[in-house]
Amino acid sequence: MSHDNGYETFFTEHQNRVYRVILGYVREHETAQDLTIEAFMRVYDRWDRVRTMENPGGYLMRTGINCARTYLRKQVKRRTVPVTDRETSGRQQSPELLFFRNEEYRALERSLLCLKERERNVIIMKDIAGHTFKEISGELGVKLPTVKSLYRRGKIKLANTIRITP
């Protein structure tokens, strides 16, 4: 099986994008790195078939999302979901501030999990990973108007469900 037919270029072009999307799901850098590697390994094993697809980047993105979702399902079964404080950058924060930040993250996480999978994927790719609607459309293989509609509906649902009370 020959894997040298553009795989290295493919890897270089897509690694950061896939990592950011997975990080949006798992919110833990080391785990996101591991899952990104796992997604690329799965694509590598099927490279002869994947490289001839119309949208190999979309296939990789879906593989990465599936890896993240599987990881999160296993975490729920273990009753542990990693919570990290993204705001910490070398400075100490008060316990009260850390508590409320973690409450905000948990509220957002609960609200995201209440969305339909397609809405959640689009919101994570747009707001957390920083993709454009056009990029999301290409990566997920969904028409551009559908991506915009999913995003709008998901944001409305989020606005209606997020309740953070200090």
106-156 confidence digits (pLDDT tens):
767 777 778 888 898 888 888 877 888 998 888 888 899 999 999 999 888
Which string of b and e fits 65-83 if b means at least 16 CB within 10 Å? bebbbebbeeeeeeeeeee
Specify the fold of 1-82: Rna Polymerase Sigma Factor; Chain: A (1.10.1740)
Highest mean pLDDT among 76-80, 123-127, 159-163: 123-127
* Fold match flag (1-82 vs 94-166): no
CATH number for region 94-166: 1.10.10.10
Q: What is the mean pLDDT of the chain?
A: 80
State the pLDDT at residue 94: 62
Domain boundaries, the chain: 1-82, 94-166
pLDDT tens digits for 51-76? 999 989 989 999 999 999 888 888 76
Q: What is the largest CA-CA distance in the chain?
A: 58
Given a cut of 50, is residue 90 above it in pLDDT?
no
Collapse the DSSP code of 88 into the 3-class scheme (helix H, G, I; strand E, B; otherwise coil) and give the result.
coil
